[in-house]
């Protein structure tokens, strides 16, 4: 299982190039190196590679551009590795886990360029749900698993209506990531270039944390996701429209 992450909160033009590179070194190259090492080890024995992506692999988040970019890169690398291993017949499953906002110390550890403390936008999910998804993927091959329906909704909206999703994020995305905490926490040290020693699982953000993810449970049972239902509906509408157009064309021919 490969999970390496560092983050910033700030506009793309505020984050230094040094910090951009550091995030890619950790988030992308860290996961890539672990994936390739695992593939070499498992080629003959067989096994599972599970990489941690994010719902931001699908949809960039305002003020988290560098992090979003690395998670999109992790998704592309994971997909490419899966195809290559499958092509050569290697007995290895490759799964990408896509968590929503998880109640970890992510905002406390991120480098902050804002003039207010950062926070995760609701809804927040228990970190143990991600652990459950990872464990499940090790024994039951899946292409990807989403953890948290709230984040999946943003991912789906970005695919169906990208422009409207842009406008919604521009209107609400900044405020949803700015905390009203005491500004004194702005001085706390991040872990972008140096580790922090706490080693805690749960974050300090005061928020209601969801202990279940019905979307994850549905995927574990191989039930169709909301996105599958929506896409099937849109495909059916498109097929119907084409059939109607074809019928009209035949009717108009002399």
Q: Above 90 in pLDDT, residue 152? A: yes
For residues 68-97, average pLDDT: 98
Q: Above 90 in pLDDT, residue 148? A: yes
Tell which CATH classification among 3.40.50.300, 3.40.50.720, 3.40.1440.10, 3.10.129.10 matches the domain 8-223.
3.40.50.720
Q: Are strands 47-52 and 92-99 parallel, antiparallel or unpaired?
A: parallel
Q: Above 60 in pLDDT, residue 249? A: no
Lowest mean pLDDT among 7-16, 105-114, 180-189, 200-209: 180-189
Q: Which residue has the higher pLDDT, 222 or 148?
A: 148
What is the pTM for the complete model shown? Answer: 0.85
For residues 168-186, average pLDDT: 84
Tell me whether residue 67 is one of the annotated catalytic residues: yes
Instruction: Write down the pLDDT at residue 248.
Output: 55
Q: How confident is the model at residue 107 (pLDDT cuts 50, 70, 90)?
A: very high
From the candidates 9, 28, 67, 152, give the one annotated as an active-site residue: 67
Instruction: Write down the pLDDT at residue 230.
Output: 56
Mean pLDDT, the chain, rounded, equals 89
Q: How confident is the model at residue 67 (pLDDT cuts 50, 70, 90)?
A: very high
What residue ranges do the domains of the chain occupy?
8-223, 225-254
With tokens 């988040």, the residue in question is: 61
Cβ–Cβ under 8 Å, residues 99 and 154: no
Q: Above 90 in pLDDT, residue 119? A: yes
For residues 63-73, average pLDDT: 98
Q: Above 90 in pLDDT, residue 143? A: yes
For residues 187-197, average pLDDT: 84
- Over residues 216-245, the pLDDT tens digits come to 999 999 865 555 555 555 554 554 555 555
Counting other chains too, the contacts that 216-225 makes at CB distance below 8 Å and 24 or more residues apart are: 216/129, 216/132, 216/133, 216/145, 216/146, 216/147, 216/148, 219/142, 219/145, 219/146, 220/136, 220/140, 220/145, 225/146, 225/152
């Amino acid at each position: 299982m490969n999970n390496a992450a560092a983050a910033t909160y700030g506009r793309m033009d505020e984050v230094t190039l040094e910090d951009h590179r550091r995030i890619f070194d950790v988030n992308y190259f860290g996961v890539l190196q672990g994936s390739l090492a695992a593939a070499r080890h498992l080629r003959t024995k067989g096994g599972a590679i599970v990489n941690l992506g994010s719902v931001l692999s699908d949809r960039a988040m305002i003020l988290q551009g560098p992090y979003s970019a690395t998670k999109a890169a992790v998704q592309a690398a994971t997909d490419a590795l899966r195809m290559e291993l499958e092509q050569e017949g290697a007995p290895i499953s490759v799964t990408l886990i896509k968590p929503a906002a998880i109640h970890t110390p992510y905002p406390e550890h991120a480098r902050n360029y804002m003039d207010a403390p950062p926070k995760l936008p609701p809804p927040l999910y228990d970190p143990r749900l991600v652990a459950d998804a990872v464990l499940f993927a090790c024994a039951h091959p899946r292409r990807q698993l989403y953890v948290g329906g709230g984040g999946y909704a943003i991912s789906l909206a970005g695919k169906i209506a990208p422009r409207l999703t842009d406008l919604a994020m521009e209107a609400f995305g900044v405020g949803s990531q700015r905390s009203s905490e005491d500004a004194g926490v702005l001085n706390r040290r991040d872990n972008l270039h140096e580790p922090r020693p706490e080693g805690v699982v749960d974050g300090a953000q005061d928020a209601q944390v969801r202990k279940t993810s019905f979307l994850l449970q549905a995927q574990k049972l191989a039930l169709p996701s909301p996105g599958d239902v929506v896409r099937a509906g849109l495909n059916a509408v498109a097929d119907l429209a084409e059939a109607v157009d074809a019928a009209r064309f035949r009717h108009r021919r002399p």
